[in-house]
Chains A and B, each alone.
Chain A
Amino acid sequence: MGLAKRIIPCLDVTAGRVVKGVNFVGLRDAGDPIEIARRYDEQGADELTFLDITASSDERDIILHIIEEVANQVFIPLTVGGGVRSVEDVRRLLNAGADKVGINTAAVTNPQLVADASSRFGSQCIVVAIDAKQVSAEGEPLLWHVFTHGGRKDTGLDAVAWAKKMESLGAGEILLTSMDRDGTKIGFNLDLTRAVSDAVSIPVIASGGVGNLDHLVDGVKKGHADAVLAASIFHYGEFTVRQAKEYMAKNQIEVRL
């Protein structure tokens, strides 16, 4: 027996509340972040990821208070992303109690940030978040582009090549979200996940589209993901984290039970 595949509930936070949208729009309230974090911890979550989806910069400090409060009560790794633009932003989140910080749009506009942050704080705490979308047409060789600004802007970058570049700059992990799947509940984009995971030697967290427990199993078995991230299936009580882990174990995936 060896390293367990991780299940990571994701909490999208705005104005101090956990919300969830479909394809990055149409938000629905899911509750209090601290309460939800404690619940997932009790259910056996391997880590927690918080994405600050606040639009305005003057509300950024809210996430710091939330992370401080969660880190006082929950003793599993915490990743925080959303709006991280500078080494100073990374430092503030780590000081608030985050163990890892996710960098998304800023990695594209300023790749040097990934290098600077990982050399300052260590690769282990720098997660590069990639929002990818299929741009190849039916019948063409598969191609995915990196999108930024919450999925609105096509950067023209090949997502697989981009992941490799982020690894070379010092990313410790890739959080890979299939944008066309996010919130749809039809499952991960397995071709994308496998292409990225096989191309890099750092762990890849699959995200976007989980609607049932088979999707989690597929993400690991067919997508070669090292960890799977999901939001809606846990937020609205369809499944507990423990049920998800038991189901994965039943499907011969090593998990921490």
Chain B
Amino acid sequence: MADIAVIDYGMGNLRSVAKAFEHVAPQLDIIVSSDPDEISKAGRVVFPGVGAMPDCIRELESRGLREAVVEAAKAKPFLGICLGMQALFESSEEGNAAGLGILPGRVLRFPAEAMVDDKGQKLKVPHIGWNEVHQAAEHPMWSGIPTGARFYFVHSYYVEAGDPDLVAGFTLYPFAFTAAVARDNIFAVQFHPEKSQATGLTLLANFVMWDGQAQVSACGADACL
């Protein structure tokens, strides 16, 4: 059985995720797989993806992978990336798609009327580039990463978590949106750690070490500053 299975459902460049894991953990067996059996046997599961939410759910279902994702998200260390984070929630404005409903909340488009910075300059959508991720909760996945560290984003939709305790990190564009969520064995990020240079590789290395135990505690007034 593989140490890490990267779920392949035909959405985006999954090899870059696998390559980044191979870089931080050359000793591990890392597979890119669309076989539900292989995924269920893997020690850790990564659910990446770029593209549109309706396609994501359709592709998962046509490949018989929906159940494998839901099961993996119940039990073992599970990392969602970008669309793989958004798909965990209940619904998306993108094509009015239903998500997997593993976590409470919905996915919204950056509203055109809000996209202005404090200097009156227009903010572009997609949100592309390096932005700061502020850690809202302590978590083993943030080990060695300072709060406010920059990660690479590329997305037009963002998660509005139904439960504020899910939020492990947030980013300003121009309002605070959810950049990372955590619950039990699930950690999911809107940004691309596999494209976020040394900081991103640190996060992936943390995932390789993570025992999948929830150690999230809400930030006190000064606990995370």
Contact = CB atoms under 8 A, between A and B. Distances in A.
- Whether chain B is bound by chain A comes out as yes
B37 to A, nearest CB: 25
A201 B113 CA distance: 11
Interface of A: 1-6, 41, 46, 71-72, 75-77, 94-95, 97-99, 121-125, 172-173, 198, 200-204, 224, 226-227, 256
B13 A6 contact: no
Which one of A41, A76, A200 has the highest number of Cβ atoms from chain B below 10 Å of its Cβ?
A76
A224 B131 contact: no
B129 A6 contact: yes
A217 B132 CA distance: 21
B156 interface: yes
Contacts of A204: 124
Contacts of A72: 19, 23
A75 B130 contact: no
A70 B191 CA distance: 21
Given A3-B123, A97-B15, A203-B124, A76 B52 contact: no
Interface of B: 11-13, 15-16, 19-20, 23, 50-52, 112, 115, 117, 121-132, 148, 150, 152-156, 172-174, 192, 194-197, 200-201
- Which 9 A-B residue pairings sit nearest by Cβ, starting from the closest? A122-B51, A256-B130, A203-B124, A124-B154, A4-B130, A3-B131, A256-B150, A77-B195, A122-B50
B109 to A, nearest CB: 12
Nearest to B117: A2
Contact of A4 (B12, B19, B131, B172): B131
A198 B121 CA distance: 10
A2 B150 contact: no
Contacts of B129: 3-6, 46, 203, 226-227
Given A75-B23, A123-B126, A99 B155 contact: no
A46 B130 contact: yes
30 contacts: A1-B148, A2-B172, A3-B153, A41-B197, A71-B19, A72-B23, A75-B20, A76-B152, A77-B152, A77-B154, A97-B13, A97-B15, A97-B16, A99-B16, A121-B12, A121-B50, A122-B51, A124-B51, A124-B128, A124-B154, A125-B13, A173-B126, A173-B128, A201-B112, A201-B115, A201-B125, A202-B126, A203-B126, A226-B129, A256-B150
Given A1-B148, A4-B131, A46-B152, 5 more contacts: A6-B130, A46-B130, A99-B16, A172-B154, A224-B121
B196 A75 contact: yes
A125 B156 CA distance: 12
A124 B131 CA distance: 16
Contacts of A121: 12, 50-51
A99 B197 contact: no
Contacts of A3: 123, 127, 129-131, 153, 173
A122 B11 CA distance: 9
Nearest to A6: B129
B186 to A, nearest CB: 23
A173 B155 CA distance: 12
A125 B123 contact: no
Given A3-B131, A4-B130, A121-B12, A75 B121 contact: no
A124 to B, nearest CB: 5
A99 B13 contact: yes
A124 B155 contact: yes
Nearest to A96: B15
